[in-house]
Amino acid sequence: MRQIYPVQGPELQVVPKAGLGALPAAVSELARLYRGDGQSHQRGWLQANMVASVDGAASLGGRSGGLSGPGDRMVFTVLRSLADVILVGAGTVRAERYRPAQGAELWQQLRPPGAPLPAIAVVTARLDVDPAGQLLTGAATGAQTIVVTTADAPPDRKAAIARHARIVEAGQGQVDVSAAVAALHGLGYSRILCEGGPGLLGQLAQAGLIDELCLTTSPVFASGPAGRIVRSGSGQVTGPPAGATAAGATTARLSLAHLLTDEDYLFSRYRSAT
Ligand SMILES: NC(=O)c1ccc[n+]([C@@H]2O[C@H](COP(=O)([O-])OP(=O)(O)OC[C@H]3O[C@@H](n4cnc5c(N)ncnc54)[C@H](OP(=O)(O)O)[C@@H]3O)[C@@H](O)[C@H]2O)c1
């Protein structure tokens, strides 16, 4: 892997899996690149990490794994290692069979001393999450899974989930993503990593909450029916957002912070221009 913008960097050895022992120099350098300059809002800093095919597909066969590769897994691991909390939509949790972050799968040396593992925060209105499943019951100490839902979500499911997970209520009918991000920040999570999916990302984009998009472009034509990494026009954001165009679409200008390449993959980091 090598940085090619804004400057040519040295060759970085790809280490797709975290390990024990000394931090590899390439991982340390990647963390420096993806940590950014530490700029933060009052609501924290929201980084999204996604992978897409060159023709814009966000999945192959209903999952994103087929688009990934060793370099993407390295970026994924480094971003998780830097995060305080991992925000994800319930559709992705179900499709990708999410479980709590594991210490052995992260570069713990990148975390502040004594910091817990990043908690998973799932956004769901229906609460269609297994209350006895690994995601809710298997979290490490200090990294209890968070379920972000609405005040009017099914009370029986809410009670079952609350036995293991922390419930955060934000909005009625649908989760108000601005309130959700504010609530996470209020719980002390200032570095929020959103791993999708497209439905949740669309709302975050419409609400102007994405500070950075880390995008892996996978060197394949996916064709087929797969959607893009951001799906908007869901009607879940009230009021016309700034920059709204016809049919609920929103344009937001981004600036390229860096570009890396490895084995025909591109790894870009875009920052919100606002
Ligand atoms: N390429 C990538 O990097 C990448 C990353 C992630 C996912 N994916 C792919 O994306 C696909 C899943 O897409 P998706 O759009 O369904 O995923 P999603 O955004 O993760 O999930 C959508 C679901 O999240 C919940 N949700 C989202 N916003 C909400 C809100 N404001 N209020 C309440 N609930 C809300 C709802 O869950 P409930 O139905 O439970 O209420 C909704 O059905 C999968 O194929 C996955 O593999 C790709």
Q: Over range 74-81, report the average pLDDT.
A: 98
Residues 6+ positions from 209 with CB-CB distance below 8 Å: 43, 46, 177, 178, 181
Q: Over range 170-184, report the average pLDDT.
A: 97
Q: Contact 170/150 with Cβ under 8 angstroms?
A: yes
Nearest Cα to 45, choosing from 232, 269, 266? 269
- Provide the percentage of residues in the chain whose pLDDT is more than 70: 92
Q: Over range 176-189, report the average pLDDT.
A: 97
Q: Contact 143/111 with Cβ under 8 angstroms?
A: no
| pLDDT at residue 191 in the model | 96
| pLDDT at residue 243 in the model | 56
- Residue 203: φ, ψ to 5°: -70, -40
For residue 257 the two structure tokens come to 């912070």
| pLDDT at residue 60 in the model | 96
Q: How confident is the model at residue 232 (pLDDT cuts 50, 70, 90)?
A: confident
Q: What's the CA gap between 138 and 151, in Å, rounded?
A: 25
Q: What is the enclosing helix (H) or strand (E) of 31? A: helix 25-35
Q: Over range 106-116, report the average pLDDT.
A: 96
| pLDDT at residue 117 in the model | 98
What is the number of the ligand 1 atom nearest to the C-alpha of 62? 45
Burial of 245 (0-12, 13-18, 19+ CB in 10 A): exposed
| pLDDT at residue 245 in the model | 56
132-136, 169-173, 243-247: segment of lowest average pLDDT: 243-247
pLDDT at 238 over 50: no
| pLDDT at residue 236 in the model | 42
Burial of 72 (0-12, 13-18, 19+ CB in 10 A): buried
Q: Over range 207-233, report the average pLDDT.
A: 94
Q: Over range 197-203, report the average pLDDT.
A: 97
Distances in whole angstroms, Cα of residue 178 to Cα of each of 40, 110, 142, 271: 16, 28, 24, 19
Q: How confident is the model at residue 239 (pLDDT cuts 50, 70, 90)?
A: very low
- pTM score, two decimals? 0.95
pLDDT at 237 over 70: no
Which residue among 67, 76, 87, 123 has the greatest number of ligand 1 atoms within 8 angstroms of its CB, and so is best to mutate?
Answer: 123
Q: What's the CA gap between 163 and 181, in Å, rounded?
A: 23
Q: What's the CA gap between 29 and 11, in Å, rounded?
A: 11
Q: What is the dihedral of CA 34, 138, 148, 41, to 10 degrees?
A: -30
Which residue among 67, 80, 92 has the greatest number of ligand 1 atoms within 8 angstroms of its CB, and so is best to mutate?
Answer: 92
**Domains of the chain, first to last:** 2-7+44-231+252-272 (3.40.430.10)
Burial of 39 (0-12, 13-18, 19+ CB in 10 A): exposed
Residues 6+ positions from 55 with CB-CB distance below 8 Å: 221, 222, 223
| pLDDT at residue 235 in the model | 40
Q: How many helices (H) and strands (E) does the chain have?
A: 7, 10
Q: What's the CA gap between 48 and 189, in Å, rounded?
A: 15
| pLDDT at residue 39 in the model | 67
What's the 12 CA to ligand 1 centre distance in angstroms? Answer: 33
The residue whose CA is least distant from atom 31 of ligand 1 is 175
Q: What's the CA gap between 41 and 64, in Å, rounded?
A: 30
Q: What integer best gives the mean pLDDT of the chain?
A: 92
What is the number of the ligand 1 atom nearest to the C-alpha of 174? 32
| pLDDT at residue 274 in the model | 64
pLDDT at 244 over 70: no
Mind listing the pLDDT tens digit for each residue in 134-162? 999 999 999 999 999 999 999 999 999 99
Q: Roughly how many angstroms between the first and final C-alpha of the chain, as a whole number?
A: 30
| pLDDT at residue 76 in the model | 98
For residue 5 the two structure tokens come to 């913008």
